Amino acid sequence: VAPTTPVCEVPSSAMTGTVVQLSCKETEGSPPSEYQWYKNGVALLEKTGTGSARAANITYTMNKKTGTLLFNTVTKNDTGEYFCEASNGIGLSQKCSVKRMQV
pLDDT, tens only, 56-69 = 667 789 999 999 99
- Is the bond preceding 6 in cis, omega lying within 30 degrees of 0? no
Q: Starting from the edge strand earliest in sequence, which strands make up the sheet with 68-71, in order?
A: 7-9, 20-25, 68-71, 60-63
Domains recognised in the chain with CATH numbers: 7-101 (2.60.40.10)
In angstroms, the CA 12 to CA 53 distance is 26
User: What are 7-40's pLDDT values in tens digits?
Assistant: 999 999 999 999 999 999 999 999 999 999 999 9
pTM above threshold 0.85: yes
CA distance between the termini of the chain = 37
DSSP symbol at 13: B
**Radius of gyration over alpha carbons of the chain, in Å?**
14
